[in-house]
């Protein structure tokens, strides 16, 4: 099922293979970006009556992990535009809802202590980020906290030839499609503009390729898998003529990851809603 009447700009499929990739990606990001914690900001005081929202939850990996790490009295909500990848039997304190981040339920106003959201640079149009941030601000309680994770694909280290060529193609394609491809590096200022306080942005290294061993191969499988599945938008926007042409480009990108030990940055951005 999907929410009707909402623009769905998501560039990836919602099938069993994507469910598995998303869960692998979550484990990778948890290890490298949030240091094994569901809530990165150690200053967030979790009480027995805490209420959490996982915005654009996808497979519900973060919400399910939060249920394992936090007391059972904590109430966890998980919302997404599509229910295709919702788990069949979540814990009793985890509640899944069909809802768009651009139009969350009205009765959620000022009802959450914490909101988590990750990797929507390939899902929300630039104009939809305005609606999404406004909605997140609305549903947070005064003093509530937010956590965003977004990857920056445009400043890899090292800047090897094929990887940089792909960066340019990716950026041009996503901009043509109206997506906010570099939102990770802009979230700090965007949150300040919406009235959030205590905004902190940190870049964490995400290694790709065999040079980094097991973790690099996990990253390549998680993010390389995502990039490969996004082939249709590159054909649609004229970056390549066919899927085969795109696959050959990705072959060269992944070869360079293996040979160069490429690293990208994931931006983790935290903030609070003021009490007044």
The three-class DSSP label of residue 24 is helix
Fold entry, domain 16-272: Rossmann fold (3.40.50)
> Could you tell me the strand order of the sheet in which 112-118 lies?
94-98, 75-80, 51-55, 112-118, 140-157, 263-272, 197-207
pLDDT in tens, the chain (276 residues): 676 666 777 778 788 889 999 999 999 999 999 999 999 999 999 988 999 999 999 999 999 999 999 999 999 999 999 998 899 999 999 999 999 999 999 999 999 999 999 999 999 999 999 999 999 999 999 999 999 999 999 999 999 999 999 999 999 999 999 999 999 999 999 999 999 999 999 999 999 999 999 999 999 999 999 999 999 999 999 999 999 999 999 999 999 999 999 999 999 999 999 997
pLDDT attached to residue 13: 79
Give the integer Cα–Cα distance in Å for 189 and 69. 31
pLDDT of residue 134: 97
Q: Kindly report whether the global pTM for this prediction surpasses the value 0.85.
A: yes
- Encode burial over 144-156: b for 16+ CB neighbours within 10 A, e otherwise: bbbbbbbbbbbeb
Q: What is the CA radius of gyration of the chain?
A: 18
**pLDDT for 261:** 97
The answer for residues whose C-beta is within 8 angstroms of residue 195's C-beta and 6 or more apart is: 137, 273, 274
Please answer whether residues 112 and 77 qualify as being in contact, where contact means their C-beta atoms are separated by less than 8 angstroms: yes
Q: What pLDDT shows up at residue 4?
A: 65
């Amino acid at each position: 099922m999907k929410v009707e009447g909402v623009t769905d700009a998501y560039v990836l499929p919602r099938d069993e293979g994507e469910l598995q990739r998303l869960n692998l990606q979550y484990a990778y990001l948890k290890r490298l970006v949030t240091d094994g914690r569901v809530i990165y900001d150690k200053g967030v005081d979790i009480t027995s009556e805490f209420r959490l929202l996982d915005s654009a939850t996808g497979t519900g990996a973060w919400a399910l992990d939060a249920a394992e790490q936090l007391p059972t009295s904590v109430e966890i909500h998980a919302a997404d535009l599509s229910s295709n990848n919702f788990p069949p039997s979540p814990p009793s304190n985890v509640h899944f809802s069909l809802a768009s981040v651009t139009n969350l339920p009205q009765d959620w106003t000022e009802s959450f202590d914490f909101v988590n959201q990750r990797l929507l640079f390939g899902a929300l149009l630039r104009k939809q980020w305005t609606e999404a941030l406004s909605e997140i601000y609305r549903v947070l309680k005064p003093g509530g906290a937010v956590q965003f994770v977004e990857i920056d694909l445009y400043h890899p280290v090292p800047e090897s030839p094929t990887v940089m060529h792909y960066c340019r193609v990716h950026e041009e394609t996503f901009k043509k499609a109206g997506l906010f491809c570099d939102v990770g590096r802009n979230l700090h200022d965007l949150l300040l503009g919406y009235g959030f306080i205590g905004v902190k942005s940190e870049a964490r290294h995400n290694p790709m390729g065999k040079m980094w061993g097991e973790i690099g191969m996990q990253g390549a499988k998680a993010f390389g898998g995502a990039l490969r599945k996004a082939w249709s938008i590159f054909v649609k926007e004229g970056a390549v003529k066919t899927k085969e042409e795109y696959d050959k480009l990705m072959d060269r990108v992944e070869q360079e990851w293996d040979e160069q030990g490429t690293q990208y940055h994931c931006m983790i951005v935290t903030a609070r809603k003021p009490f007044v």
